[in-house]
Structure 1
């Protein structure tokens, strides 16, 4: 089976730029909309060329804000990781900053992967399978905060269809293999 990954498609779309990190931004004081973006939950502390960036010091706070206020439920028995994703850790590479939208896209990718994992479980009832399929509609994913601005929907759907056909697997299995193989899908006890 040819190894492919679309994690770079979703993650690479929100650029990670190495800059000198500034002071921690403050949370927005206004009422938070239900479908709030990461920048509405926690203001980026760095601004350059019209874009906002989170400092490394802001990463734990913005990840907690995004996952704590995520507008769509995870499947029963799943939870967002409390640790920030590897894509948002400097790992000794010096000061890093992360473009606004990246925390949203990573949370959305995790959410989708949890639903894909759930949908691939054996012995789902018809109701459980319908629930998973409802959550896995591409339009539902694209409506999540920051996703439509950073993930090219047609490229994603075409790559999933191609892989499913080449590997003779379901679209859900192909997408899970492509997008989720590097994520640590956490299930609650």
Structure 2
């Protein structure tokens, strides 16, 4: 009869070799998949969304706050270095009191020394109808004094997984005193 030490050693070696064999199979972190598993076998759709983005810096309940002020050392009129975090309402019409369809959540930063050019990084988080809970993600350059600015749609979530497209921004109104802005967005999105 085998000694208990022998059986214990044999059991440990067997467990260790099983673990080693299993670990060899788990070294890959990526794999090919069937598109149907993610619903990518459906026909791609093109959707257009129009809404108004309200950047409110004034009053008791601002939706846009400066989290990094521009450095004093930089002599510029572009506020280079400024970073604002946003949770801006998206409404169906240009009035803030019109129907809320979502929120723009993210940040913008002044990224140009020579013009008021912003880096925009935001999610349009929808709360209306079948799009409730879905997001469209924008990341791009916004030269705010151009009549029309175009920024890429780089993705999304929910109904907008694998989304791509672009957004056009047009300033509807801007208050130089308060910094409050109202911008019309037209977003064109390809999605499944």
TM-score normalised by length of structure 2: 0.21
Structure with the bigger percentage of strand: 2
Larger Rg: 2
TM-score normalised by length of structure 1: 0.21
Structure with the bigger percentage of helix: 1
Q: Which has the higher contact order (CA 8 A, sep 6+)?
A: 1
